[in-house]
């Protein structure tokens, strides 16, 4: 693996001894997400408006759904075996899964110009301390390396701690994330196309709130790019 620190290598070595690598879905040894399972991922055949599900080009927001987002590009359905892989990456701290997950997604970025700027949904500090990494940032970093797109990890920051979105209904989700983000550093993004990377999209509220802040920096188009749609 590239760009691994000595500490990461030692950690991985020890983890391999204590917990031999096996596929998160079928249990096959020596791989985290085996090819057979990867072949079962249900990739999206069409892209849709993230809010009303109407079929649109590249997942553009349709004219009747107003949003700061230009659109949300989704790679796959949130179904097995991808569901378990994302869940394990996010909640069971199997950080090494980031490579397998990014592998699934990066070819889709070829649909966008290379001058697109990648960023990620910022983690809330409590989550970051607990998990030790921002799962969206790790993915975005690999996607940037594969595509040659620029990656600005700190475009945004969280401004307040909020209730985890998973506990709320659709309407509450939009209310909850309002004003949850702000510019991480002062940047002029005039005329730029920005893509916010995250693992999942559900209501689209988080991505919408992020896009709102990025527009204020001058970006002309703000896309979301996610591994899967959870609905």
Report the C-alpha gap between 43 and 210 in whole angstroms.
25
Minimum CB separation of residue 34 from Zn ion in Å reads: 3
Using CB under 5 A, list all residues that contact Zn ion: 23, 25-26, 28, 34, 37, 49, 51-52, 62, 65
**8 vs 80, which CB is nearer to Zn ion?**
80
Shortest spacing between CB 66 and Zn ion, in angstroms = 9
Whole-angstrom distance, CA of residue 165 vs CA of residue 75: 21
Nearer to Zn ion, 34 or 168 (CB): 34
Specify the residue, 32 or 168, whose C-beta has the smaller distance to Zn ion: 32
Residue 24 CB, nearest approach to Zn ion (Å): 8
CB of 52 to Zn ion, least distance (A): 3
Q: How far is the CB of 147 from Zn ion (least distance, A)?
A: 27
Give whichever of 65 and 145 is closer to Zn ion, judged by the CB atom: 65
Q: Which residue, 43 or 130, has its beta carbon nearer to Zn ion? A: 43
């Amino acid at each position: 693996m590239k760009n691994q620190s000595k500490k990461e290598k030692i950690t991985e070595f020890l983890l391999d001894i204590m917990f031999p690598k096996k596929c998160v879905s079928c249990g096959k040894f020596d791989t985290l997400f085996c090819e057979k399972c990867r072949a079962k991922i249900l990739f999206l055949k069409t892209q849709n408006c993230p809010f009303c599900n109407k079929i649109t080009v590249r997942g553009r927001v349709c004219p009747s759904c107003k949003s700061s987002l230009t659109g949300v590009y989704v790679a796959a359905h949130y179904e097995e075996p991808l569901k378990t892989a994302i869940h394990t990456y996010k909640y069971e701290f199997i950080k090494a899964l980031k490579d397998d997950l990014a592998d699934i997604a990066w070819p889709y970025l070829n649909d966008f110009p290379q001058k697109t700027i990648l960023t990620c949904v910022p983690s809330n500090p409590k989550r970051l301390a607990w998990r030790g990494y921002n799962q969206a940032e790790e993915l975005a970093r690999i996607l940037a390396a594969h595509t040659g797109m620029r990656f600005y990890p700190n475009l945004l920051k969280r401004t307040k701690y909020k209730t985890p979105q998973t506990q709320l209904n659709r309407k509450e989700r939009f209310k909850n994330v309002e004003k949850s983000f702000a510019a991480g550093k002062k940047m002029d993004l005039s005329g730029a196309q920005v893509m916010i990377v995250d693992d999942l999209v559900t209501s689209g509220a988080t991505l919408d709130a992020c896009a709102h802040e990025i527009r204020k920096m001058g970006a002309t188009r703000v896309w979301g790019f996610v591994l899967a749609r959870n609905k």
